[in-house]
């Protein structure tokens, strides 16, 4: 499918509000040349560490990487990891509005040996935020200006039904599209979104079908459209991306073979590209095609590393 370069050029004029579960990704790297004498596990000789925005914060970073502007709203603890995250966001020019809560800043510590994952340690509290924190969170974005809103739900407690309803009302009043990256286990009803992006496992979970029972995607999509009244996009790994417009029908966009280094964060990249393309004038099918390319670039990178507009344009030309 032909993509005019001017479509990606228009990303720079778009401002996207990202609301959701913000995280800090913490990478500890080392070399493992021997076994731990205390237990049959690798013994890592420490080499370096670094940090990167994760979760909803990674979605915001991908908006910026692709040339747009991002405003990030979420919940953190009032701790050292929050301030590390803020510094990382400031470097990328991301405007952030964080509500402090009685919880740690969600942090995922990944331990790598010779560039491969050995273990992960999560610092988090997944209980839904209480009404007082909801009030502060809703107040933090009620007067912001945006061309679109992304709800990035990782089921860490920031996206409650009331917070989602506030985001939906924000979009309705301003006449802007609402894009959702859901987590079925959060039990939020995402009805009324413009586009909802599921992976295949999540799509099956929502309709109550085990992902390995042979349920056909052609049967899943219409049920999701009927449930939410939204355009539905289902990513299916090497089987491509299936698109179900609310007006009916189905289109599947193939995924070309890639060398996969790390799939973490690919969903954030996909949604960021889908949102920017949609508000820049692309059709749903064009936006999904472009987002598929962006996610394909991301899986070739280790860590939550944003995809750039230049990388995306190069990949589209090559294809």
Domain with residue 187: its CATH number is: 3.40.1190.20
Mean pLDDT of all residues belonging to the chain: 91
Banded model confidence at residue 238, pLDDT cuts 50, 70, 90: confident
pLDDT bin (cut points 50, 70, 90) of residue 231 is very high
d(CA 104, CA 76): 7
Cα-flanking dihedrals φ and ψ of residue 112, to 5°? -125, 135
Burial 169-178 (b: 16+ CB within 10 A, else e): ebbeeeebbb
* Domain limits for position 11: 5-318
Active site members: 268
Report whether 253 contacts 290 (CB < 8 A).
Answer: no
* Per-residue model confidence as pLDDT tens digits over 248-257: 999 999 876 5
As given in the structure block, the two tokens for residue 109 are 């510590």
> Which pair of tokens denotes residue 105?
């800043």
Stated pTM of the model:
0.92
pLDDT of residue 264 exceeding 80, the answer is: no
Query: For the segment 63-120, what is each residue's pLDDT rounded down to a tens digit?
Result: 999 999 999 999 999 999 999 999 999 999 999 999 998 999 999 999 999 888 889 9
Q: How confident is the model at residue 127 (pLDDT cuts 50, 70, 90)?
A: very high
Residues 183-192, mean pLDDT to the nearest whole number: 94
The pLDDT of residue 212 is 66
- Residue 184 neighbours by CB distance under 10 Å: 17
Structural domains counted in the chain: 1
Cβ-based burial of 257 (10 A; exposed 0-12, middle 13-18, buried ≥19): exposed
Contact 109, 120 (CB under 8 A): yes
- 82, two tokens: 């929050």
């Amino acid at each position: 499918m032909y993509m005019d370069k001017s479509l990606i050029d228009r990303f720079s004029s778009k401002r996207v509000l990202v609301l959701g579960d913000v995280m800090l990704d913490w990478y500890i790297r080392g070399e493992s040349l021997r076994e731990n004498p205390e237990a049959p596990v690798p013994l890592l000789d420490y080499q370096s560490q670094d940090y990167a925005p994760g979760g909803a914060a990674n979605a915001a970073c991908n908006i910026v990487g692709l040339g747009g502007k991002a405003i990030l709203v979420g919940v953190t603890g009032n701790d050292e990891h929050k301030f590390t995250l803020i510094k990382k966001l400031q470097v990328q020019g991301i405007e952030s509005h964080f509500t402090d809560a009685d919880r740690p800043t969600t942090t995922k510590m990944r331990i790598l040996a010779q560039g491969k994952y050995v273990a992960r340690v999560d610092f988090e509290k997944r209980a839904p935020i209480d009404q007082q924190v909801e009030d502060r969170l809703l107040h933090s974005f009620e007067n912001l200006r945006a061309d679109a809103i992304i709800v990035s739900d990782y089921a860490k407690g920031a996206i409650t039904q009331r917070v989602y309803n506030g985001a939906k009302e924000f979009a309705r009043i301003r006449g802007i599209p609402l894009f959702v990256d859901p987590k079925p286990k959060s039990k939020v009803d995402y009805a009324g979104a413009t586009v909802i992006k599921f992976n295949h496992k999540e799509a099956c979970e929502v309709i109550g079908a085990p992902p390995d029972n042979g349920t056909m995607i052609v049967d899943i999509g219409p049920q999701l459209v009927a449930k939410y009244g939204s355009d539905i996009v289902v990513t299916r790994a090497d089987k491509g991306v299936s698109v179900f417009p609310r007006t009916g029908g189905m289109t599947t966009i193939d995924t070309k073979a890639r060398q996969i280094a790390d799939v973490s964060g690919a969903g954030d990249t996909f949604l960021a590209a889908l949102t920017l393309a949609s508000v820049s004038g692309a059709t749903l099918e064009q936006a999904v095609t472009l987002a598929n390319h962006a996610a394909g670039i991301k899986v070739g990178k280790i860590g939550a590393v944003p995809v750039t507009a230049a990388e995306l344009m190069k990949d589209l030309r090559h294809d």
